[in-house]
Homo-oligomer: A and B are copies of this chain.
Amino acid sequence: MTNKINITLSTTKKEKPASNQLEFGRVFTDHMFVMDYSSSKGWYDPRIVPYEPITLSPSSMVFHYGQTVFEGLKAYRTKDDKVLLFRPDKNFQRLNLSNDRLCIPQIDEEFLIDALKQLVSIDKDWIPTAEGTSLYIRPFIIPTEYYLGVAPSKFYRFMIILSPVGSYYKEGIHPVKIFVENQYIRAVEGGTGKAKTGGNYASSLKAQDEAEKRGYSQVLWLDGVEKKYIEEVGSMNIFFKINGEIVTPSLNGSILEGVTRNSILQILNHWGVPVSERRLSMEEVYQAYKDGLLEEAFGSGTAAVISPIGEFFYKEEKMLINNGETGELSKKLYDTLTGIQTGVYEDVFNWVVEVK
């Protein structure tokens, strides 16, 4: 693969939305990064081009067999107008893990970081400035072979698109209510749970929809084998503070290896907070709640960073956590992570990467 990225700049500039009108994932910048793959050429023709539609035959594999992977990360503008990426190496590392599970060819991770930096640099005026806003980055791969056989595609397209996004918490960080799912399963060991692939999200929609109808904003996923052990919450990893200790489910093959999850574990270790990665049943959490030892619970992910949980609905019972308010540790982790991401806090972990 040649590392030379061809750049074609857009001749027109789209109007940028006002900072207070930003939604998630609806508006996209002027450019995108594109690269193709064929069995004979490998990954080829890396290019930055004006944001434009994709045209594919109806027989293109992407419309039929779900062989897709994606990533999500963000670029932040600091108070002194620097542009920072948060741990992009972890995202592209995970992209290759997803690729491996989905039979998609590996991509040079260093090259992708370089490509991303060039793209963000070109569209840097799109990074919003208001507090809590950022530029959401969506790398993704689709199979493009025109063939209805069930087999790995011989052709792929890798793309990165950028979307300015508003603050996840329009009125400040606040807790959500979670329905403990007892019917649907997100993933199981031996499946695709740890890969960031479309099918995992498609399969989650129905449970999410039914939870919303009951007045809950997300579901808590239990394991697919015994429906006892906690896996994720919505599309986030999950943490509990039980009797002073932080507990999160260990990575078991069906849980996504969240970059935010990994960062939280490092921060907690740095702070000297006791933390345990292990198998954790919902019954154990319920018992801790009954014993008055369940102090906090929160989800973690790129979009919300930290999403405090104020209530679980489990076995026809409402479990109120920390009086339905954001816990002290949840808030401190949120401030620390967003502080590092936006250059307000010192980056002691060497996580942020500046886009020059």
A192 contact set on B, CB distance < 8 A: 199, 202-203
Distance between A163 CB and nearest chain B CB, rounded to angstroms: 7
* Bound Cα distance from A82 to B54, whole angstroms: 40
Distance between A25 CB and nearest chain B CB, rounded to angstroms: 3
Distance between A249 CB and nearest chain B CB, rounded to angstroms: 18
A140 contact set on B, CB distance < 8 A: 63-64
The answer to whether A188 and B54 touch across the interface, beta carbons within 8 angstroms, is: no
The answer to whether B202 and A191 touch across the interface, beta carbons within 8 angstroms, is: no
The answer to whether B24 and A206 touch across the interface, beta carbons within 8 angstroms, is: no
The answer to whether B152 and A191 touch across the interface, beta carbons within 8 angstroms, is: no
A161 contact set on B, CB distance < 8 A: 58-59
A51 contact set on B, CB distance < 8 A: 58
How would residues 41 to 76 of chain A score, 1 for a CB under 8 Å from any chain B CB and 0 otherwise? 000000000010111111110111111101000000
Using a CB-CB cutoff of 8 Å, which residues 150-169 of chain A contact chain B?
Answer: 150-152, 159, 161, 163
* Bound Cα distance from A152 to B28, whole angstroms: 20
* Bound Cα distance from A140 to B64, whole angstroms: 7
How would residues 167 to 188 of chain A score, 1 for a CB under 8 Å from any chain B CB and 0 otherwise? 0000000000000000111111
Taken together, the copies of this chain in the complex come to 2
Closest to A227 in B: B190
Using a CB-CB cutoff of 8 Å, which residues 65-113 of chain A contact chain B?
Answer: 65-68, 70, 101-103
A233 proximal to B (CB < 8 A): no
The answer to whether A24 and B149 touch across the interface, beta carbons within 8 angstroms, is: yes
The answer to whether B58 and A190 touch across the interface, beta carbons within 8 angstroms, is: no
A136 proximal to B (CB < 8 A): yes
* Bound Cα distance from A185 to B161, whole angstroms: 32
A133 contact set on B, CB distance < 8 A: none
Distance between A179 CB and nearest chain B CB, rounded to angstroms: 14
The answer to whether A66 and B198 touch across the interface, beta carbons within 8 angstroms, is: yes
* Bound Cα distance from A201 to B68, whole angstroms: 11
* Bound Cα distance from A107 to B208, whole angstroms: 22
Task: Given A25-B59, A183-B190, answer yes or no on A103-B198 (Cβ-Cβ < 8 Å).
Answer: no
A284 proximal to B (CB < 8 A): no
A259 proximal to B (CB < 8 A): no
Distance between A105 CB and nearest chain B CB, rounded to angstroms: 12
A103 contact set on B, CB distance < 8 A: 205-206, 209
Interface residues of A (CB under 8 A from B): 24-26, 28, 32, 51, 53-60, 62-68, 70, 101-103, 136, 138, 140, 142, 146-152, 159, 161, 163, 183-192, 197-206, 208-209, 224-225, 227, 234-235
User: Which A-B residue pairs are the 9 nearest by beta carbons?
Assistant: A199-B199, A66-B198, A25-B148, A185-B190, A66-B202, A65-B201, A188-B188, A188-B224, A66-B66
